Amino acid sequence: MVVILGTLGHHPETLLPTIRSTKGVDEVVAFHSDHEDSIKAVEEIRRTCQMMEVAFLPHPIPDAFDLVSTAMEIQKTIAELRAENKKIAVFNIAGGTRIMSASALLVCTLEGLNAVYVHDDSHREIPLPLLQIKYSDILTDQEKLILRFLLDRKGAEVTQRDLASELHLHKATINHHVQQLLEKRAVRLEEKEGDKRVRLIRVEDSMALLLR
């Protein structure tokens, strides 16, 4: 089953070129906000899909102004589609709010999906130069394990010693992986308040998107 995804704002015409150009499309999934004009655009796409006998799944985004939660929502939908063995042909990122479009582009890069935008005047689809490999492949399994551990203990003070003891790994092994994570800018070190000798390992919340 071939699926196309798209962010949808007030103008249904941003998504139409992709519906028209994708060979053998069976399903269209559109991410949209609850804005009145977006709902109108959803109805327009629904009518087009009905005429084409293509399934249409509108997917409301609860907070179209929150980049991380929007990206997580899109990522979750992609995981569900993949679990159902559906083939995602392309993601059209041309519609919706700035946050929705940026979230979609971010997720396309993270998930290794084909992405297109549509030129405003010509309505021509422009493919974006993204690699179709998972972004998280940059991280090793051990690096992901450490990141997951840190994200699960959000805000807690974690040192390399804590990591070694909790993950049952040698201190030198942990040090190597932490250095690699620092090199890749996935984590940062912070001096502990009141004790400058202790270096805490910190991770940004948005790094959770790399592990989904």
Partner 1 sequence: MRTLICTYGYRQDKIVKAMRTIEHDELVLVTGKGNTARPEYSRILELARKFDTPVETVIVDIFDFMSCFTRIDEIVRKRQAAKQSVVINISGGLWLLSDAALMAAMNNGCESYYVDDVIKKMPLMLPVLKVNIGERLTSEQKETLLELKEGMSVPASGSPDKGPETRLRALRELKRMGMLSIDTSSGGPRVFLTPNGRSITEWLKR
Binding site for partner 1 (CB under 8 A): 65-68, 93, 96-98, 101-102, 105-106, 109-110, 112, 114, 117, 119-121, 126-133, 135, 137-139, 183-186, 204-207, 209-210
Who contacts 113 (Cβ-Cβ below 8 Å, separation ≥6)?
5, 78, 88, 90, 91, 107, 130, 132
Q: Which is nearer to partner 1, 45 or 210 (CB)?
A: 210
Query: Rounded to the nearest whole angstrom, what is the least distance from the CB of residue 190 to partner 1 in the complex?
Result: 14
Q: Which residues pair with 201 in a beta bridge?
A: 189
Q: Which is nearer to partner 1, 45 or 88 (CB)?
A: 88
Query: Rounded to the nearest whole angstrom, what is the least distance from the CB of residue 29 to partner 1 in the complex?
Result: 19
Q: Which is nearer to partner 1, 46 or 144 (CB)?
A: 144
The residue type of 161 is: R
Q: Which is nearer to partner 1, 68 or 169 (CB)?
A: 68
Asked if residues 49 and 55 have their Cβ atoms less than 8 Å apart, the reply is: yes
Query: Rounded to the nearest whole angstrom, what is the least distance from the CB of residue 51 to partner 1 in the complex?
Result: 28
* Rounded distance between C-alpha atoms, residue 10 and residue 16, angstroms: 13
Query: Rounded to the nearest whole angstrom, what is the least distance from the CB of residue 97 to partner 1 in the complex?
Result: 7
Asked if residues 87 and 5 have their Cβ atoms less than 8 Å apart, the reply is: no
Who contacts 52 (Cβ-Cβ below 8 Å, separation ≥6)?
19
- For 156, the 3-state DSSP assignment is coil
Residue 46 tokens read as 């629904």
How many CB atoms are located within 10 Å of the residue 106 CB? Answer: 20
Query: Rounded to the nearest whole angstrom, what is the least distance from the CB of residue 176 to partner 1 in the complex?
Result: 17
Query: Rounded to the nearest whole angstrom, what is the least distance from the CB of residue 184 to partner 1 in the complex?
Result: 5
Q: Which is nearer to partner 1, 55 or 68 (CB)?
A: 68
Closest Cα to residue 190, out of 199, 177, 180? 199
Q: Which is nearer to partner 1, 47 or 87 (CB)?
A: 87
Asked if residues 183 and 193 have their Cβ atoms less than 8 Å apart, the reply is: no
Helices (H), 53-170: 67-83, 98-111, 141-152, 160-167
